[in-house]
């Protein structure tokens, strides 16, 4: 632990002209007294750490000292490629590895380029979760992430189904990759001995036990391509019903932002020519009449439901109630 901290202290001082004891203590997560002892230990070991006294003082390396401890470990190099998603790194337990990697890269750069990480961070930031949703890190995510990095089989138990059909099942899995979608973590894995790839929500896992064996990864497996295909299949599988609607010109523009965008675009492309008022009749695939009612209500008077009749009657009832609320 102390050796890693001393290396980090040298890299910090190498990447900046000087640092106060308070700044070093904050970066190293130790007390200022520990910083003083570590600086003395480095000096005794031959690292030229110089302490400037006084209120404006601090620690710096003298004589153009350069350490050769900037080689990246494999875990640090892998974490560096994920450094644009700091929240995901933290949830997978890779924050320390990414921090060490960034320090080594910074220490290896020319002095004129060492502020690159800071200037980039001040200009670009990725915030993955949806609005109005407090992301919750699955407790077993770090264990799953370790298995993914290590190509190690896991024995997992997870909740399957909903309500009265909810049950817990177990599987031996070969964990191929993790996906963070709108604040929710998913595991793409192959069932051991089965050969098929499946997708599991990490927050449904109730237990994860790393196995003793590593699996032979299929080098042709394409995680982004696999996820795109499964995500499209999942979205399509939800659209089990159809509604027929007339949509105004303004409604045509807003429809892809109200229902599934791809389905809306395909339905509009398949629609006939607009009528004399410019309205278009569209047959729209939807998840259910209940969901469609909620979604299409957002279009207000820019949409008219033609079928099914029960849904049209529901919108008519909504219109009567709205007229009663807002009528003159």
Longest CA–CA span in the chain (Å) reads 89
The better pLDDT of the pair 191, 119 is held by 191
3-state secondary structure the chain: CHHHHHHHHHHHHHHCCCECHHHHHHHHCCCHHHHHHHHHHHHHCCCCEEEECCCCCEEEECCCCCCCCCCCCHHHHHHHCCCCCHHHHHHHCCHHHHHHHHHHHHHHCCHHHCCHHHHHHCCCCCCCCCCCCCCCCCCCHHHHHHHHHHCEEEEEEEEECCHHHCEEEEEEEEEEEEEEECCEEEEEEEECCCCCEEEEEHHHEEEEEEEEEECCCCCCCCHHHHHHHHHHHHHHHHCCEEEEEEECHHHHHHHHHCCCHHHHHHHHHHCCCCCCCCCEEEEEEECCHHHHHHHHHCCHHHEEEEECHHHHHHHHHHHHHHHHHHCC
Could you tell me the pLDDT band of residue 179, with boundaries at 50, 70 and 90?
Answer: confident
* Residue 224 backbone phi and psi in degrees, to 5: -60, -40
Q: Residues 154-182: what's their mean pLDDT?
A: 85
Q: Cα separations (Å) of 272 from 22, 276, 281, 299? A: 70, 12, 7, 20
* 193-223: b (≥16 Cβ within 10 Å) or e: eeeebebbebbbbeebeeeeeebeeeeeeee
What pLDDT sits at residue 76?
Answer: 55
Could you tell me the pLDDT band of residue 243, with boundaries at 50, 70 and 90?
Answer: very high
Per-residue pLDDT tens digits for 189-236: 998 877 788 999 999 999 999 888 889 888 888 888 888 888 888 877
Query: Whole-model pTM?
Result: 0.55
Assign residue 183 a region: left if phi > 0, alpha if psi is -120 to 50, beta otherwise? left
Per-residue pLDDT tens digits for 255-297: 999 988 888 999 999 998 999 999 999 999 998 889 899 999 9
Considering the chain, what percentage of its residues have pLDDT values greater than 70?
76
Could you tell me the pLDDT band of residue 67, with boundaries at 50, 70 and 90?
Answer: low
Could you tell me the pLDDT band of residue 81, with boundaries at 50, 70 and 90?
Answer: very low
């Amino acid at each position: 632990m102390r050796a890693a901290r001393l290396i980090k202290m040298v890299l910090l001082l190498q990447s900046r002209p000087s640092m106060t004891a308070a700044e070093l203590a904050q970066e190293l997560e130790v007390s200022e007294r520990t910083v003083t002892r570590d600086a003395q230990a480095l000096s005794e070991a031959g690292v030229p750490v110089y302490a400037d006294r006084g209120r404006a003082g601090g620690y710096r390396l003298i004589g153009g000292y350069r350490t050769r401890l900037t080689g990246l470990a494999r875990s640090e190099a892998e974490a560096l490629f994920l450094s644009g998603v700091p929240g995901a790194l933290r949830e997978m337990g890779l924050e320390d590895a990414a921090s060490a990697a960034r320090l080594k890269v910074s220490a290896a750069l020319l002095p004129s380029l060492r502020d690159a990480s800071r200037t980039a961070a001040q200009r670009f930031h990725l915030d993955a979760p949806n609005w109005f949703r407090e992301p919750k890190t699955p407790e077993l995510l770090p264990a799953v992430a370790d298995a993914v990095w290590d190509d190690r089989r896991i024995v997992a138990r997870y909740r399957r189904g909903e309500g009265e059909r909810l049950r817990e099942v177990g599987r031996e899995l070969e964990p191929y990759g993790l996906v963070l979608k709108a604040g929710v973590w998913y595991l793409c894995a192959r069932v051991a001995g089965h050969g098929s790839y499946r997708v599991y929500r990490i927050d449904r896992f109730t237990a994860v036990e790393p196995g003793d064996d590593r699996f032979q990864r299929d080098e042709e497996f394409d995680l982004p391509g696999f996820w795109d295909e499964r995500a499209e299949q999942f979205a399509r599988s939800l659209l089990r019903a159809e509604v027929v609607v007339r949509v105004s010109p303004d409604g045509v523009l807003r429809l892809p932002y109200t229902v599934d965008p791809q389905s809306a675009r395909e339905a509009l492309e398949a629609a006939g020519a607009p009528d004399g008022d410019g309205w278009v009749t569209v047959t729209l695939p939807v998840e259910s009449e209940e969901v469609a009612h909620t979604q299409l209500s957002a279009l207000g008077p820019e949409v008219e439901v033609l079928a099914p009749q029960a849904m049209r009657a529901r919108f008519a009832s909504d219109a009567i109630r709205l007229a009663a609320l807002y009528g003159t």
